[in-house]
Structure 1
């Protein structure tokens, strides 16, 4: 398990709470919507946080900084409705830093301890700042020192942009839909200051899953030992609903399932940590094929990456491989897991 170290110092926390206090006092959600997008480039690593202010709907108040092209893609899917607000997918897709203003009861022990250590006082409904890091495959978590510094910068620049937007409602759209206003720290020989830059964001595509080396001898052995049956297998991978906490940041493991379509019996299952990806997927499928009574006639999958991983296995074994929109057997097993 990867550890998240580098805890923020007292001074870094103090700066973040100070920036959050100024931001909240401004109440930019009164004139800004969550579709008013702007960016802030991290002075330390150059990554852009694409920011939106939350609160126009009167429910959640705060700010989210979607990190890099991957974070921006998730934001755009949410705005377009491709990812539903409140859906499970949002939790597992976001790559963002957030500040929200909560009731005291929503803060946990660690949040309250930081506030107590700094001798800060908050009160009232939606009056308590809460800071979180969201990362695909992981539980929303506390900030590292670097994240704390960047979110402080984001809030400071958000106040700048929000103030100007109040005076000029057309500020963010003046260069067209393709360009985003990004605040950039410019360092010169004698001066350092923030300036506007209009940037066309980079597009992001999920990295394609490539097939690893296949044990051809083993495939040949499976083909010779097992006859082709009439069964249909469904194979899919999704986030397991329970988090695993070992050391450092808890994570949601990926659960892979093999289900017999006719009986809805689970033929095989295994868990993978976020950093493992699909590294053992082909090996696991080969194990279950080798231990089965006969080979399935067809394997059905939903995801493109699983389809690509199974092609070099299904082809030599002459197993039909189909990509479909839904897997009923898998759906029923998933539903049972959350009951």
Structure 2
């Protein structure tokens, strides 16, 4: 059950954030320079990325735990791993503070700013916060998330000041990150350099357990069809009473590359398994129509779902940029606006 943060808690967050902004941390960190902080209640550290040194978008993203760091790495290497930028941005868990423009701020956040009596003037000077959660649209942070941000930013302030005052040196280019931890024995905070944790999101392969079904699919005739399969976030919020925040529309999209037609679109619910949905469609399609010549993909979950079954059925599975599908989806998005 979602619990909203009190106005007093929001006041704490805005106070510490304004102190942090006064240090202009983007002048001393690139977005790939990670600051890890151990919080009082957390079993794993939070990982902070400071944006804005390139002059495009100033802000601070906080990723909770090593799973969060995996999300950061996915976003940073989306082109290499095969994710579309839209998918990588939407399929992450993180808390982000932006220093942006008035028109970017949600109605709920503006109400909080008004109730706190805060005044922001000019472009790039509005402070607002967004909670990113996989399968959901960006939303106002809840009580727990605001508490995480307050404690994180209090410690990030000290970390940034140490770099700004040249009291600590981190070899970012050699794979080091800054780490901040409370020493209970000495009752003091320590900040030091450590090697960057190695994270890699795993995509376990799915296998059909029904041997009769596998044999039936293998015997299906080949058809003149080459499938492209992808999971696509449409960035359209859906309000559903079953969920405590708006759902971001996620579709399983199937296209026949030979005919240049999208032949199937299916809405994925937040609780549904991506690989299972891809495998279910593939088996049903093959059972009804026959074996496609090839299947193209870019999302690793598609490969995890189909690799073993495609190999067994003699269907070529190929990684692709899916540019034709992107063009058609862009046309759909424009029509939805």
Tell me, yes or no, if the aligned pair for 1:252 and 1:273 is still in contact at 8 Å: no
Give CA deviations for 1:158-211 in whole Å, capped at 9, x if unaligned.
Answer: 221222222217x242698333221123334xx744222433333222221331
2:287 is matched with which residue? 290
Q: Deviations over 1:206-247 (max 9, x none)?
A: 2213315433333444556x5333333333333234333313
Deviation at 1:111, TM superposition (A): 0.7
Structure 1 residues 106, 239: closer, same or farther in 2, change over 3 A? closer
Alpha-carbon distance, 1:22 to partner:
1.6
Give the match for residue 238 of structure 2.
244
Q: Unaligned 5+ residue runs, structure 2?
A: none
Question: In the alignment, which residue of structure 1 is the partner of 2:261?
Answer: 265
Q: Does 1:177 align with 2:151?
A: no
Aligned counterpart, 2:151? 153
C-alpha contact (below 8 Å) 1:300/1:327 kept by paired residues: yes
Q: State which drifts further: 38-47 or 241-250.
A: 241-250
Cα 1:269/1:184, change in 2 over 3 Å: same
Instruction: State the 1:253 CA deviation.
Output: 3.9
Scaled by the length of structure 2, the TM-score of the pair is: 0.81
User: Quick check: which has more Rg, 1 or 2?
Assistant: 1
Distance 1:62 1:306, change over 3 A: closer
Unaligned segments of structure 1, at least 5 residues: none
The count of residues paired between Structure 1 and Structure 2 equals 327
1:218-233 pair list within 5 angstroms:
218-222=213-217, 226-233=220-227
**Aligned match for 1:143, one of 120, 134, 141:** 141
Partner SS for 1:326: coil
Cα offset, 1:75, TM superposition: 4.5
**Partner residue in 2 for 1:13:** 10
Secondary structure (helix, strand or coil) at the match of 1:88 reads: helix
Pair 1:23-2:17 in alignment:
no
Structure 2 partner of 1:310: 306
Alignment partner of 2:126 out of 106, 117, 128: 128
Q: Report if the CA contact (8 A) 1:240-1:255 is conserved.
A: yes
Q: Any conservation in 2 of the 1:29–1:53 contact (CA below 8 Å)?
A: yes
